[in-house]
Amino acid sequence: MKYWGYFVAKLLAILAFGYGSGRLLFLYFPKQKTLWKMQPFMHDLPYTLVVMAHFLLVAGLIWLAVWDQRYRCRTCLRKLRMPVANGGWHHVILGPPRTDYICPFGHGTLRVQELSLDGTFHRDWQEHDEDIWKELYALENNTADKS
């Protein structure tokens, strides 16, 4: 819920920015004088170019929000770290290349397929049942006790 709430909040912020800046652009951009009243979009070249650039900016911000959201932990929303390459391009059928990302607090692992034979790139999020750092500390304590 927190994950999707954060995504919706980012999208709403981008849409608010896009709407506000679009309104400012419409109100304050100097328009050409015409004999009859026309909408400036598609009739005024500088205004049309600026509106198209504004659209591309907002679309790019939405793309950035989606891209950023894919590489966030589903539990704590932190950026996923420590990319590890697995598989290889010489094992396309049995071990296709993929990159694993992990939450720095051990909440889960994201497996991103680097090769897609059907055109869709699968991202597989696997939540860890237990905190992996506790498990590592337990191993470290066991080895310290034995020595």
By CB under 5 A, name the binding residues for Zn ion.
Answer: 73, 75-76, 103, 105, 107
Shortest gap between Cβ of 5 and Zn ion (angstroms)? 15
Retrieve residue 21's tokens: 């800046």
Q: Which is nearer to Zn ion, 71 or 105 (CB)?
A: 105
Shortest gap between Cβ of 104 and Zn ion (angstroms)? 7
Q: Which is nearer to Zn ion, 31 or 74 (CB)?
A: 74
Retrieve residue 44's tokens: 């005024």
Shortest gap between Cβ of 6 and Zn ion (angstroms)? 13
Shortest gap between Cβ of 43 and Zn ion (angstroms)? 51
Q: Where are the alpha helices (DSSP H) in 29-131?
A: 45-70
Asked whether the beta carbons of 104 and 111 are under 8 A apart, the reply is no
Q: Which is nearer to Zn ion, 57 or 132 (CB)?
A: 132
Rg (CA), the chain: 24
Report the 10 Å Cβ neighbour count for 47: 19
Which is it for the CA torsion 18, 21, 24, 26, positive or negative?
negative
Q: Which is nearer to Zn ion, 73 or 112 (CB)?
A: 73
